[in-house]
Amino acid sequence: MKSPSGQPSIELFDITIMEPVVTLTDFLITAVCLFAYLKLRKKNLAGKVHQYMRWYFLIMAIATFLGGLLGHAFQAQVGLAWKLPGWLISMLAVSSIERATIMYAFPLLKRRFARFLEIANVVELLVFAVITFSTLNFFYIQVHSAYGLGLIVLPIHFYIFMQTQNPGSKLICRATLFATLAAFFYTSEIGISVWFNHLDLAHTVMAISLYFFYKATLILPVYDQSTETNPVSFSKGVQLLFKGN
C-alpha cells in the first residue's frame, strides 16, 4: 500500500509501518497535549473555561495518538475508514476550545449573540462530523478547524484583547496565527525531505502552537459581569498584538 504522503514505509517485526516520521510527529503533538493537560489538571484552575481548555488538550492528545497509530502507521492493516476515529475526535477538541472561548467572552458579548455562538458550536460540529463520516475526506476536518480557530477563537480573543488587553488573549491570538503555518505546509506540500515532509512540518508547527495555547491558558482570567474594561481601537489592538511584551 503506497503512502499518501510519499514517505517510505519501514518493516518492524515483519509488520509494515507506514509514514513512520509522520506517525512520530503526530505523537509529538500527543506528548505536548498530555503535558499541558496534566499540568493544568494539577493546577486545577477554577471555572468552566479552564475545564474546557483541559478537555481540549486531553481530547487532542487522544485524537493525535489514534491518528498517528491508525491513520498513518497501520493504514496498510486497517484501511482508510480507521482514519475516522482520530479525525472525529479532533473535531471534538476544536469544539472544546471554541466553547472555552465563547464562555470566556460571554460577559463581554451581547447575550443573544453569545447564545447564538453556543448553539452554532454544536450545530457546526454535528454537520461537519456527518459530512466527514459520509465522505472520508480530510478536507472537511480542515474546514472545521479553520472555522473553529479562524472564525471563533482568533476574532473573539482579539476582541477580548482590545477590550481588556489581557496577555492570555494576546498569546492565544499569536498562537492561532502561528498555527496557520500548519495549514500552509499541509496544502502547499512543502517539506524538507521525503523523511520530513509537509505533514511532519505541519505537525511540528501544531505542537509548538499547542504549547503556546497551554501557556496562554495559564494566564487566562475569567471575567464576570462587573469587569471593568479599557477598550482600544482595532488598529491599536493590532499594534499591541504584535508588540513585544
Report the chain's terminal Cα–Cα distance, integer Å: 50
Residue 71 resides in a domain: yes
Domain encompassing residue 154: 13-242
- What's 36's domain CATH number? 1.20.1070
Residue 8 resides in a domain: no
Per-residue pLDDT tens for 64-110? 999 999 999 998 888 888 899 999 999 999 999 999 999 999 888 88
C-alpha cell at 191: 517539506
pTM strictly above 0.75: yes
Residue 237 resides in a domain: yes
Residue 76 resides in a domain: yes
Residue 139 resides in a domain: yes
Per-residue pLDDT tens for 227-243? 445 555 555 556 666 67
**Using CA atoms, how far apart are residues 245 and 243, in angstroms rounded to an integer?**
7
Average predicted confidence (pLDDT) for the chain: 89
Residue 181 resides in a domain: yes
Per-residue pLDDT tens for 140-154? 998 999 999 999 999
- Count the helices and strands in the chain (H runs, E runs): 10, 2
Residue 7 resides in a domain: no
Residue 73 resides in a domain: yes
**Total domain count, the chain:** 1
Phi, psi of 227 (to 5 degrees): -60, 130
